[in-house]
Amino acid sequence: MGLLDARFDVNLSILFTELPLLERPAAAAAAGFTAVELWWPWVDAPTPERAELDALRGALNDAGTQLVGLNFYAGQLPGPDRGALSVPGEESEKFRANIDVAADFAQSLGCTALNALYGNRVEGVAPEAQDELALENLTLAARAAHRVGAVLLIEALNAPESPLCPIVSAPKAIEVVERVNEATGLDNARFLMDLYHLSMNGEDLHEVIDRYTDRTGHVQIADNPGRSFPGSGALDLADLLGRLDKAGYDGWIGLEYKPGDGPSADAFDWLPRERRAARG
C-alpha cells in the first residue's frame, strides 16, 4: 500500500466545512470519494432530534457515501475543550447520553468504528478520579460498540495543540486500549493511529507502526507542519503508509487535514481521481 493505493475516506468535519453539513456528502461524492467519516456533528446536542439524524442519514445515502467512522460526542471540535468522557459533571453526562444514540446511528449506516475522545484535565479534580470516570464511560461505550458490531477507537492527540489532554502519545493510548479490553473482556477497543498528532508529539512513527499496527483500528493522516494535504509538509506519508501495509494494516486511511485557503474540492490534487473511490 503506497500513498496512492490506500483506501481513503474523507473527514467531513474538517473538509468541505465551507458547506452546510447536509451538502458535504454530495460534495465529497462529486470530488470522487465514496467513503467518509465524521466527528459528532452536533456540538451542543449529544441527543439531537430524530429529524436531524434522519436528514444526515438521508444525505449520506443519497450521495452514495459510506460512513466508515464516527466520533461519540466530544464537545467543540476543533477546539480547546475537545473530549468529554473524562470530564466530571455535565460533559460526562452528555457523553453517556450520546453513547446509544451514536452507536445506533452508526449501525443504521453500516459504520463499524466509533471514536471516543478523552477529555482535558480539569483543575481541582484529581487525575486519578478523571481516569476512573473515563474507564467507566469507555466501558459503556465499548459495550455499545460491541452491540452494533463496531470497534471502539482510542486516539492520542498532540501536546502542543492539546496541552491539557492526558492522552498525547501512542503508548498512553495503547495503555487505555488495554485497560478497556481488560475491563470489558470484549477485545473491541483499538488504537486510532493519527500520524499527524503523533508526529507533532515527536514520536518515531516507524516504531509506532511496527509496535502497534496489530492493535490499530483506524488511521488518519495530515502532513506536518500545517495539518494540510500530503506533500504540503515534511512527512513522508508514502513511506509511512507503505510501512503500515507491510505491518498488516488493510483498513481505512482517513483524510483529516485542513483544505487551505481554497475550496475543499481543490485540496485533493495530490490524489488522482481514479484512486479516490473505495476499492475492495
Cell readout for 78 is 476543533
Q: Which residues contact 20 (CB under 8 A, 6 or more apart)?
A: none
- Quick check: 278 pLDDT over 80? no
CATH number at residue 231: 3.20.20.150
Determine phi and psi for 181, rounding to 5 degrees.
Answer: -65, -35
Kindly state the cell numbers that stand for 221.
493522516
Residue type at 162 in one-letter notation: S
pLDDT band at 201 (very low <50, low <70, confident <90, very high): very high
Residue 6: beta bridge partners? none
DSSP 80-93: TT---TTSTTHHHH
Give dist(CA 97, CA 93) in Å, integer.
6
Does residue 193 lie within any of the structural domains?
yes
List the grid coordinates of 269. Answer: 490534487
69-116 pLDDT, tens digit each: 999 999 888 776 679 999 999 999 999 999 999 999 999 999 999 999
Question: Does a structural domain hold residue 181?
Answer: yes
Q: Is residue 278 within 8 Å of residue 7, measured between CB atoms? A: yes
Q: Could you tell me the residue range of the domain that residue 175 belongs to?
A: 7-275
pLDDT digits (tens, 9 = 90+) for 18-76: 999 999 999 999 999 999 999 999 999 999 999 999 999 999 999 999 999 999 999 88
d(CA 184, CA 169): 23
Is the distance from CB of 220 to CB of 199 less than 8 angstroms?
A: no
Catalytic residue status for 136: no
Q: Would the pTM count as exceeding 0.85?
A: yes
For position 60, what pLDDT does the model report? 98
pLDDT at 6: 85
d(CA 74, CA 39): 8
What are the φ and ψ backbone dihedral angles of 192, each rounded to 5 degrees? -95, 110
In a domain, 216, yes or no: yes
Residue 121 is classified by DSSP as P
Q: How remote is the C-alpha of 218 from its chain's centroid? A: 8
CA angle 19, 22, 27 (to 5 degrees): 55
- Would residue 256 show up in a list of annotated catalytic residues for this protein? yes
- At residue 186, does pLDDT exceed 70? yes
The single-letter code of the amino acid at 180 is: V
265 class by beta-carbon count within 10 Å (0-12 exposed, 13-18 middle, 19+ buried): middle
Rg value, the chain, Cα: 18
Instruction: State residue 270's pLDDT score.
Output: 95
Q: Which residue, among 221, 231, 236, 213, has the nearest Cα to 269 in the 3D structure? A: 231
Q: Which residue has the higher pLDDT, 2 or 143?
A: 143
How many domains are contained in the chain?
A: 1
- Distance in angstroms (rounded) separating the CA atoms of residues 184 and 143: 7
- Which of 37, 91, 155, 203 is catalytic? The answer is 155
- Indicate whether 141 pLDDT > 60: yes
| Domain presence at residue 243 | yes
Q: Is residue 2 situated within a structural domain?
A: no
159, part of any domain: yes
Answer yes or no: are the C-beta atoms of 143 and 98 closer than 8 Å.
no
Question: Is 280 a domain residue?
Answer: no
51: cell is: 429529524
Q: Is residue 1 situated within a structural domain?
A: no
Asked if the model's pLDDT at residue 1 lies above 60, the reply is no
Residue type, 112: T
What grid cell was written down for 77? Answer: 471540535
Instruction: Evaluate whether 212 touches 173 at the Cβ level (below 8 Å).
Output: no
